[in-house]
Amino acid sequence: MSAASLHITLNGDSHEIEPNITGVELFADNKDIIAVRINGNPRDLYTPLHEGDVVESIAIDSEDGLAIMRHSATHVMAQAVQEVRPNAKLGIGPVIKDGFYYDFDVDEPFTPDELKEIEKRMQRIIKSSQRFVRRVVTEEEARAEEADQPYKLELIGAAEDQISAEEAIEVSQGELSFYDNVDRDGNVVWKDLCHGPHLPNTRFIKAFKVQRAAAAYWRGNEHNPMLQRIYGTAWPSKDELKAYMTRLEEAAKRDHRKLGAEMDLFSFPDEIGSGLAVFHPKGAAIINAMKDYSSKLHETSGYSFVQTPHITKGGLYETSGHLQWYKDGMYPPMHLDEERDEDGNITKAGFDYYLKPMNCPMHNLIFKSRQRSYRELPLRLFEFGTVYRYEKSGVVHGLTRVRGLTQDDSHIYCTREQMRDELKSLLEFVLNLLRDFGLNDFYLELSTKDEHKYVGSDEIWEEATNTLASVAKESGLELVDDPAGAAFYGPKISVQARDALGRTWQVSTIQLDFNLPERFDLEYIAADGTRQRPVMIHRALFGSIERFFAILLEHYSGAFPAWIAPVQVLGVPVAENCLDHVNSIMSKLDKTMVRSEVDSSNDRFGKKIRNASKSKVPFILIVGEEDMNNNAVSFRFRDGSQLNGIAVDTAVEWINQAIDSHALINSVDDFTAHTDAHAE
């Protein structure tokens, strides 16, 4: 090495390199390395290195590598779009979960044929091996180059605190830059305002797919122009792309909105309003099963059930802080109780009433309704409380994002000394109940203070955050940080559950709150006779019943375990003369509260069986002449397998055992394994 050599740290080891060497040379023998992290910041392989730099390689299949590849694909897509629609104005092209999108201002929406053409042109661009070359510019130069791009000009002029995370890829980190797409002859064939980083060249985009187009407001604001958004995805290999598309197909089959209609579970009547669901008898049966089981567990775990109204005076939410921090998510007020004389003069002032968005302020009033002693703590209040949140129309989505939702809401009031043990037992309680519903793959997320949206002192927030983090780590589950994701009154742990397709859903939350007890002046009498402030723990186990319903519906693809299935047993007579025997069996099941139905239609037996198989009912009981003569019944399971000639009383006993055990039984093998285990 020469005297002018540079000392760097490369993937944890010290190295000396010649000046002017970049990541391109350092990783020339490893084609999976597509970028580097220099002093913690992702950068292009072409970025110059300096004395003392800490350099880490970024592989294409890593989280950062995938994001870089997908963002590079957005540039390729935008280039292809402007070939198809030369007058298209460019919005932004960020990376999202499993893919990317780019927004365009065009005269007409994109057609399916155009999307196919855009994909073909992207493929040609990728094969042409265009290089992504970064070029730093001044603001004046950027404005000159983007003179015909109004949306880019708006971003250039926006202050740093006005830029969203999605927009930050364009103009963040204090300097402006373009990325030029340079062909093999060195010609700039396209460019885009972007901070990067990007792939070395387009051929590193191994497998991609243009998925769909949709309308989207510029910067997510309904007062802004409506743009056209094209979504796509990209993966390190064709096999991974194929696997992803297969997962999407399976997810579409499991879409709770589709299954909800097919299984007659719920609907969203236009006459009621957006985001407000009604549950049909079968859907309500599932809801009741969820509530009943949850209620039993809470009853045996020291919770006191409460009930609160759906509306309240606005002053309650001024005290809690919701009107300051959450008003945009609340329904508008109703001004009531005002009285006027004959001349129209106000003789009694009215009040603004609000539909409640949260149960916690009302639970605080219950705590405060009388003097409390330390002997009553921890006090655990529980409610299935319906709340109302004014979600924007573009955000409302089936049962997963609604405007009226029922929370299995609990608020625990305890002493500082009880706080840690209560949090540990709460987390264990939550995880065990989720497992009972068939979710077993979890990790935890710790949401911390938003520096621009919080109440209380930094010291209190630090204590609350450290306590939650400690309890989360002791659980042994993976803990992921969610910076600035907390509510305004305290940090939280979120339980993230993976479903049968490996998708992640936020389910339960546990929030530690020192602030609302202060705002509501909550007190208890301590052992020494002094008045002390309790700690408040917010806990929603399902999150909301509606959303958890949707998660379970998609997780099981409608084929619920018998204990929560809307119809647990379906009776199918082979012939009309068998109907009375079927009804007698159902009468026995009715006495044990089993949810049953009988197919008494005039359809042929073959059609009845086909319909029964589509119904997703756990147990189909078939009765023919021989069964009727022997006081027996035949079991048919979801996979089409059967058990024949089972005595009626034995069948009733087995069904009740299976329901009580919460077992998921889809076949003869599942059933015999369950009954054998029960016999032991």
Catalytic positions, written as ranges: 360, 389, 407, 409, 411, 492, 538
Residue with tokens 């062909």: 183
DSSP state of 260: H
Q: How far is CA 213 from the centre of its chain?
A: 22
Segments of 298-365 assigned E as strands: 304-305, 311-313, 334-336, 339-340, 346-348, 351-355
**Which among 583, 437, 409 has a CA at the least distance from the CA of 499?**
437
Exposed / middle / buried, residue 390 (Cβ in 10 Å: 0-12, 13-18, 19+):
middle
User: What is the Cα–Cα distance from 338 to 349, expressed in whole angstroms?
Assistant: 5
Q: Tell me whether residue 414 is annotated as binding.
A: no
User: What is the Cα–Cα distance from 90 to 112, expressed in whole angstroms?
Assistant: 20
**Which among 611, 612, 633 has a CA at the least distance from the CA of 624?**
633
User: What is the Cα–Cα distance from 618 to 583, expressed in whole angstroms?
Assistant: 18
The CA R_g of the chain, rounded to the nearest whole Å, is: 31
User: What is the Cα–Cα distance from 487 to 465, expressed in whole angstroms?
Assistant: 12
Q: Tell me whether residue 674 is annotated as binding.
A: no
DSSP state of 575: S
**Which among 131, 219, 142, 133 has a CA at the least distance from the CA of 175?**
142
User: What is the Cα–Cα distance from 511 to 537, expressed in whole angstroms?
Assistant: 6
**Which among 140, 27, 364, 95 has a CA at the least distance from the CA of 231?**
95
Q: Tell me whether residue 194 is annotated as binding.
A: no
What is the DSSP pairing of strand 278-279 with strand 266-267? Answer: antiparallel
User: What is the Cα–Cα distance from 70 to 81, expressed in whole angstroms?
Assistant: 16
Q: Cis bond leading into 483, ω under 30°?
A: no
Checking phi first, is residue 365 left (phi over 0); if not, alpha (psi -120 to 50) or beta?
alpha
User: What is the Cα–Cα distance from 58 to 64, expressed in whole angstroms?
Assistant: 7
Q: In Å, how far are 447, 557, 650, 661 from 595, measured between CA atoms?
A: 41, 20, 18, 16
The binding site for Zn(2+) consists of 360, 411, 538
The binding site consists of 360, 411, 538
